[in-house]
A and B are shown apart, each in its own frame.
Chain A
């Protein structure tokens, strides 16, 4: 059953001469994956033999290059939208078209304008068109299925009205619920309810003053145990964990080597610290090594003084790419050049590794090699907040010098209890095997889903084991169309475009969860099949019907490849 290349973005790529396979080398993570992936899956596993066998398991990561035609059409699409944007701005300026957005107050009209005009151009003219794909309000637990409040717009997304209807049981592919702990029943919820009754909800003080509850101490001991480090410290917000602790660790005269695609919180923390920041190419160990060498040999710019410390900032799983950091190589480099490693496991904790201990567990490495292990409780534990784990000296220092400990409120007690119960479940300390089953279910879901999508010819970025699955869309019109059409078929997806991704690499991002059953995934896969490869289904779907429906869509011509 070999399909012909269809007229859509998921057409199979021609097979490129894949010299990478011959000697088993993975160059900078860019693997030119061959198109016949489904049939030849076994032959595509790349054992990384360089660096003396640092990897104990195959590291299979691919970022297929954007086809030339698609890139050109995407730029054309953005060009058309920009022209229309200028036209609409012109019409609005001359009051030919009604101006929907809020404007400056009359009394303040001669003040300097609050927002730069160009900053808003993208928001007004491109983002507004497809704004209904984001900020969708929900009114149930963000589990495997979710209830979305229906909204309508009668003025092209400038304002929304709630119809009062609720779209029930939408398959949730957008929430970060990797291990399925987002539940409103079960042991976690019961424990949190008990603590809520006893402690209340707020804390009304900071950790260093009188906001340090016994629950926080208990949580920190458990986190340290979970990670396999000497001590840990918990904070109320994951974003703030990065932005408030990196400035406490490095300062002027230090060097930060940060990955190209690091999260905004890491970038903000690095900027606030006052240290010099140098960026290395995404997951590219040669680029990192060159920067390290140059930094130590040439020292600080101009004065040539040696750097006080070098800190490498990487993430466990990069949430927009779905890639996993090359941790064994990073640790080897860190040891060779005496740098310190800050690992942000926001997405990977709980989601990777045979025991759910994150990316360190996934690669089978020693947690002591990572100087600062940071993570969040939002994703795999179904709570909120962040933590940092490491040696006792580090944690003592953070207890006294972290901005969050001195000025910000501590974790809310029921939230802390949710984390404690979830963590105990994952560790198996609650006496059940539920944690282990969730981890295995997630790994299976990831493997199955990625394999099925790849076999249909979609371009999927990232590592084979990463629960974050980005599916490339490229064209601006497809961002809106994909999001809306999937919602019509009762599936809620997340679509991302510029500026969160490079301008021609818009994508839909699926976040898999242990709560998704095989049936749920099959439903999704079936919907993809029906729409892109109807000839593969046994249903009496009339291909011409689908074709006619597609042609009627606005923006169809930008839809084509």
Chain B
């Protein structure tokens, strides 16, 4: 009975097919054909539209033109042609063939041509040769380095010291050794370029406070405290550092240390100025300094300081310890020149009276930095013609975060006599009058 019923259904269907109107059949037929087409056509790939063919890629490679490796430097760029110093850059310096009195090298204690320093370095040269041929970890540690570190630690009255072979690299390696991504650093606005590079390498959060403004720093610290209370979990793993300079190179001012803190964790210094050598050092407690021996990049991955330079530094320390009166003499001279340079028409003195590195800035800027720089350069050139060696303070204009205004650097050293100071003051005054007015 079932098959008959089935057959009967089939017959019914065929009958229905005959009886259906034409348009219905045509529509159904079209739909069936459409379904068959869709079933058999390729899938639509979105990617194919944006994927480039090999030919297109080659064309792109052909067409691409890089920028020139370096932009052209104009022939009269102020920093292109260096002053050439013939002979040692000591008190009587020969710059570009002219004999001048040196007011431009950071030779504060006059140790650059000290015979004792030279003798110590010579003895070291005869014993060790010049280079160390290796980093500190691989037979580059000499007994001279260990001596120097001991002496520096004693001199600075700290537990331990670590020396670097380059002054710039000292602070630029020390900062990223401690401060990492996520830590917070409070730094003064007038911090020097080496500190800025160290901060950039550390990838920490940087909070800048106005130069020597302790109230501003307090405000920032209080803000940070509020932030910490909002997010105590984060605060528990964020380290905070304050970085200040003892004597700011860019402004000649001293930081107000007693207001700031009663105990310092790390002191970083440069041996290239007063110690008349090369290199730098960090000192502090062993807990802090020892870390740099494995994570200070400029210490681990760089050759150590040549022993003759270390020996010279040790001798310089000896001289400083034997002759503490030298510092009072320097202070006197600084005060004297600071006074003498006041009142020069058109130039103002920037820096404290006890600072041995002063700046002379234009009282009224012309509005354009290039013209300011040209004017100051004119003053410097004329001073050199008259026997006073000065230099402009050089900055990388595009790289500095807070670019200081152009200025002339005046450096006081212990070797300058009263006549020298008087001559300098009067020469600068005369030249400034001629150039600026």
CB neighbours (8 Å) of B104 from chain A are: 205, 209-210
The answer to whether B297 touches A212 (Cβ under 8 A) is no
Most chain B CB neighbours (cut-off 10 Å) among A112, A293, A336, A405: A112
Which residues 131-187 of B have a CB within 8 angstroms of A? 131-134, 136-143, 145-146, 165-169, 172, 178
Which of A1-9, A68-76, A173-181 faces chain B?
A: A173-181
Which A-chain residue is minimally distant from B393 (CB atoms)?
A: A209
The answer to whether A238 touches B394 (Cβ under 8 A) is no
Bound together, the chains give a CA A240 to CA B121 distance in angstroms of 24
The answer to whether A203 touches B89 (Cβ under 8 A) is yes
| Given known A183-B129, A202-B312, contact A212–B70 (CB-CB < 8 A) | no
A208, A214, A263: the one within 8 Å of B301 (CB): A263
The answer to whether A272 touches B399 (Cβ under 8 A) is no
Which B-chain residue is minimally distant from A239 (CB atoms)?
A: B302
Which residues 362-396 of A have a CB within 8 angstroms of B? 371-372, 376-379, 381-384, 393-394, 396
The answer to whether B139 touches A172 (Cβ under 8 A) is yes
The answer to whether B302 touches A265 (Cβ under 8 A) is yes
Does B4 interact with chain A (Cβ within 8 Å)?
Answer: no
Does B57 interact with chain A (Cβ within 8 Å)?
Answer: yes
CB neighbours (8 Å) of B87 from chain A are: 198-199, 213-214
Does B277 interact with chain A (Cβ within 8 Å)?
Answer: yes
Does B253 interact with chain A (Cβ within 8 Å)?
Answer: no
Instruction: Report the minimal beta-carbon distance from A202 to chain B, rounded to whole angstroms.
Output: 4
The answer to whether B137 touches A212 (Cβ under 8 A) is no
The answer to whether B131 touches A297 (Cβ under 8 A) is no
The answer to whether A192 touches B130 (Cβ under 8 A) is yes
Bound together, the chains give a CA A408 to CA B106 distance in angstroms of 12
Instruction: Report the minimal beta-carbon distance from B137 to chain A, rounded to whole angstroms.
Output: 5
CB neighbours (8 Å) of A203 from chain B are: 89, 105, 272, 278
Which residues 346-383 of B have a CB within 8 angstroms of A? none
The answer to whether A212 touches B303 (Cβ under 8 A) is no
CB neighbours (8 Å) of B409 from chain A are: 209
The answer to whether A397 touches B122 (Cβ under 8 A) is no
The answer to whether A384 touches B139 (Cβ under 8 A) is no
Which residues 220-279 of B have a CB within 8 angstroms of A? 235-240, 272-273, 275-278
Does A306 interact with chain B (Cβ within 8 Å)?
Answer: yes
Does B318 interact with chain A (Cβ within 8 Å)?
Answer: no
The answer to whether B146 touches A196 (Cβ under 8 A) is no
A115, A138, A199, A206: the one within 8 Å of B88 (CB): A199
Interchain Cβ contacts within 8 Å, total number: 339
CB neighbours (8 Å) of B85 from chain A are: 210-214
The answer to whether A149 touches B143 (Cβ under 8 A) is yes
CB neighbours (8 Å) of B237 from chain A are: 112
Does B429 interact with chain A (Cβ within 8 Å)?
Answer: no
Does B24 interact with chain A (Cβ within 8 Å)?
Answer: no
B121, B240, B287: the one within 8 Å of A201 (CB): B121
| Given known A393-B72, A396-B73, contact A264–B297 (CB-CB < 8 A) | yes
CB neighbours (8 Å) of A206 from chain B are: 394
Contact bitstring A394-420, B, C-beta under 8 A = 1, else 0: 101111110111111100111100100
CB neighbours (8 Å) of A139 from chain B are: 142-143
Does B82 interact with chain A (Cβ within 8 Å)?
Answer: yes
CB neighbours (8 Å) of A403 from chain B are: 168, 193, 197, 396, 399
Instruction: Report the minimal beta-carbon distance from B157 to chain A, rounded to whole angstroms.
Output: 16
The answer to whether A182 touches B93 (Cβ under 8 A) is no
The answer to whether A103 touches B118 (Cβ under 8 A) is no
Most chain B CB neighbours (cut-off 10 Å) among A198, A393, A408: A408
The answer to whether A200 touches B287 (Cβ under 8 A) is no
The answer to whether A382 touches B131 (Cβ under 8 A) is yes
CB neighbours (8 Å) of B305 from chain A are: 384
The answer to whether B79 touches A208 (Cβ under 8 A) is yes
CB neighbours (8 Å) of A382 from chain B are: 129-131, 133
CB neighbours (8 Å) of B84 from chain A are: 212-214, 217
The answer to whether A272 touches B197 (Cβ under 8 A) is yes
The answer to whether A208 touches B82 (Cβ under 8 A) is yes
Which B-chain residue is minimally distant from A371 (CB atoms)?
A: B69
CB neighbours (8 Å) of A188 from chain B are: 130
Does A184 interact with chain B (Cβ within 8 Å)?
Answer: yes
Does B421 interact with chain A (Cβ within 8 Å)?
Answer: no
A199, A297, A371: the one within 8 Å of B60 (CB): A297
The answer to whether A114 touches B70 (Cβ under 8 A) is no
Instruction: Report the minimal beta-carbon distance from B140 to chain A, rounded to whole angstroms.
Output: 8
Instruction: Report the minimal beta-carbon distance from B321 to chain A, rounded to whole angstroms.
Output: 19
CB neighbours (8 Å) of B327 from chain A are: none
Bound together, the chains give a CA A199 to CA B278 distance in angstroms of 14
Does B52 interact with chain A (Cβ within 8 Å)?
Answer: yes
Bound together, the chains give a CA A211 to CA B168 distance in angstroms of 15
Does A553 interact with chain B (Cβ within 8 Å)?
Answer: no
| Given known A146-B139, A264-B301, contact A105–B285 (CB-CB < 8 A) | yes
| Given known A112-B238, A174-B134, A403-B193, contact A201–B86 (CB-CB < 8 A) | no
The answer to whether B133 touches A177 (Cβ under 8 A) is yes
Which of A35-43, A337-345, A440-448, A541-549 faces chain B?
A: A337-345
The answer to whether B71 touches A141 (Cβ under 8 A) is no
Which B-chain residue is minimally distant from A197 (CB atoms)?
A: B118
| Given known A141-B129, A193-B125, A201-B276, contact A175–B80 (CB-CB < 8 A) | no
| Given known A213-B85, A265-B301, A494-B139, contact A102–B166 (CB-CB < 8 A) | no
A204, A208, A244: the one within 8 Å of B272 (CB): A204
Does A322 interact with chain B (Cβ within 8 Å)?
Answer: no
CB neighbours (8 Å) of B275 from chain A are: 202
The answer to whether A213 touches B89 (Cβ under 8 A) is yes
Which A-chain residue is minimally distant from B241 (CB atoms)?
A: A114
Given contacts A141-B127, A197-B122, A400-B77, 13 further A-B contacts (CB under 8 A): A136-B139, A137-B142, A141-B129, A193-B125, A202-B278, A203-B89, A209-B104, A212-B83, A272-B200, A337-B61, A397-B70, A399-B80, A406-B396
Using a CB–CB cutoff of 8 Å, the interface residues on chain A facing chain B are 102-105, 111-112, 114-115, 123, 127, 134-143, 146, 148-149, 172, 174-177, 181-184, 188-189, 192-193, 196-214, 217, 236-240, 243-244, 247, 249, 263-265, 268, 271-272, 293, 296-297, 306-310, 336-340, 371-372, 376-379, 381-384, 393-394, 396-401, 403-409, 412-415, 418, 492, 494
**What 7 A-B pairs have minimum CB-CB distances, sorted nearest first?**
A397-B70, A239-B302, A237-B166, A202-B276, A212-B82, A102-B287, A408-B168
Q: List 28 A-B contacts (CB under 8 A).
A: A112-B238, A112-B239, A137-B146, A138-B139, A139-B143, A140-B127, A141-B128, A189-B130, A196-B121, A199-B87, A200-B118, A201-B112, A210-B83, A214-B85, A237-B165, A239-B169, A240-B298, A264-B300, A338-B65, A338-B66, A371-B69, A378-B131, A383-B130, A397-B73, A400-B80, A403-B396, A409-B168, A418-B131
